Structure 1
Amino acid sequence: MNITVNWLAFVQVFAAALIGTLLVVGFYAIAMRLMVRAGRAPVVAPAEFTDAITVVSEKDQARAAKAAAKAAKKSPLTDGQKRLALFGAYASFAVCGLAVIGGIVLIVVK
């Protein structure tokens, strides 16, 4: 029994996975950075689990939301620059979505 490996196909899959990962992670990071610059820092309440080691109180959640609002007020950007940053964030999220959809299409079509 002779087993052969198609190394060219292996390299193609590796390159596609690496490029896809870099696109999704890179553009997501850019989008999050632009969201913060636009004054729309995402504040997500942590989930509470019954077996969690630490549980965040409502007071801590309110403090985090207040700090995010205060940071948004300190932004040195003009309103136009904030809108442009927000548009760039949405465009970066769209690129992330397109990269994921493109990967799914590659898997389903082939």
Structure 2
Amino acid sequence: MIVIDWLAFVQVFIAALIAAVLVVGFYALGLRLLVRSGRAPVVAPAEFTDAITVISEKEARRAEKAAAKAARKSPLTDGQKNVALIGAYACFGVCGLSVLGGLLLIVFNH
């Protein structure tokens, strides 16, 4: 007969839910701070299969121009932008450390 420890199942479910919310939340906050610091991530178009629409070079230049314009219009001082950039990197670091911690828990079975 198979016995399921439902309390352990609930504990794992809650831990996974909290970890997912924290990782996604810190990543979103990091992206927000990265944009506020004037370093909006602009991804160059890539070649894909027919199923995915790829933006043209003209659209990519327009997006880069809009990001540069938004960075120039930022009401933040240079010091505030640097603090936002450090905060963004800290948020990304928290994401990386939490993923690494989860992997260590899996590998060492704690």
TM-score, normalising length: structure 1:
0.93
- Report the count of equivalent residues: 109
* Structure 1: distance between partners of 2:104 and 2:54: 41
Unmatched 5+ stretches in structure 2: none
Residue 47 of structure 1: SS of its match in structure 2? coil
Does the Cα contact within 8 Å between 2:45 and 2:57 map onto a contact in 1? no
Q: Deviations over 1:17-53 (max 9, x none)?
A: 1111011100000000000110000001132213245
Separation in structure 1 between the aligned mates of residue 23 and residue 57 of structure 2, nearest angstrom: 33
Superposition misfits of 4+ residues, deviation over 2 angstroms: 52-55
% same residue: 72
1:43 and 1:9, CA in 2 relative to 1: closer, same or farther beyond 3 A?
Answer: same
Deviates more, 1:13-22 or 1:85-94: 13-22
Please say if 1:78 is aligned against 2:73.
Answer: no
Structure 1: distance between partners of 2:16 and 2:45: 31
Q: CA RMSD in A?
A: 1.1
Are 1:40 and 2:29 counterparts? no
Matches within 5 A, 1:2-81: 2-81=1-80
- Given that 2:45 and 2:56 are in contact with CA atoms closer than 8 Å, whether structure 1 keeps it comes out as no
